[in-house]
Amino acid sequence: MKHELPGRLIVFEGIDGTGKTTQIPLLADYLTNLGHKVQVTREPTTGQYGQKIRELYVQRTSVSREEELQLFIADRREHIEQLVMPALEKGEIVLCDRYYLSTAAYQGANGFDPMEIIKLNQFAPEPDIALIFEVSVDTSLERITNGRGEQLNDFEQEESLTRVSRIFSELDLPFIRRINAEKPIEEVHRSVVEAVKPVLF
């Protein structure tokens, strides 16, 4: 759903370990310094459905593929209703860490048709820009395990991430901009700023 609201929706997508979470506050600071009102948010949310999704990180097999997908859809509906739409209506810039392209890629890797999942999300406002952060799967795994010192959760296994990465690389929508996230943090930030400038007001 293409939105005609005064605000802007900028979403950050990509496989785990691409540096999205590092880049979002950098862009938020940049936009705030320009005088914009910025809302930073993420999916899955901390709401009722988001909490159920987070439980799947350690026990993904506890629900069916269909139930998992429906949790993501329900979480997004609630998120849009409670935060995203009100912020866009007020003319704010919403920076969202993951949105429906992540659902398309991760659930696509789980056996669904990615384009069908995007159709299921037609209730959701279309991003003004979707930044897809791109790194190799090797870089992703290295950053998760050594960089963060974390164990891989059920969504981060190498075989699955390889499928997710391929789906992200094949997505072709007019609002997508691709960011080489293998580069140093400051260089990536500059690429992000250049990518979002055309949609700022």
Regarding predicted confidence, which is higher, 14 or 140?
14
Q: What integer pLDDT is reported at residue 134 of this predicted model?
A: 95
Q: What integer pLDDT is reported at residue 155 of this predicted model?
A: 59
- Does position 154 have pLDDT exceeding 80, yes or no? no
- Report the candidate in 6, 8, 23 with the shortest Cα–Cα distance to residue 181: 23
| Structure tokens, 144 | 């998760």
Binned at pLDDT 50, 70 and 90, residue 186 comes out as very high
Would you tell me which CATH number, out of the four given (3.40.50.11140, 3.30.1490.100, 3.40.50.300, 1.10.1040.10), belongs to the domain 8-199?
3.40.50.300
| Structure tokens, 44 | 């899955």
Name the CA radius of gyration of the chain, rounded: 16
What pTM was computed for the model?
0.92
- Does position 29 have pLDDT exceeding 60, yes or no? yes
Residue-wise pLDDT for 82-92, tens only, equals 999 999 999 99
- Report the candidate in 20, 28, 31, 27 with the shortest Cα–Cα distance to residue 181: 20
Binned at pLDDT 50, 70 and 90, residue 157 comes out as low
Extents of the domains making up the chain: 8-199
Cα–Cα distance list, 184 to 19, 84, 140, 143, 189 (Å) = 10, 30, 14, 13, 9
- Report the candidate in 108, 115, 99, 98 with the shortest Cα–Cα distance to residue 162: 108
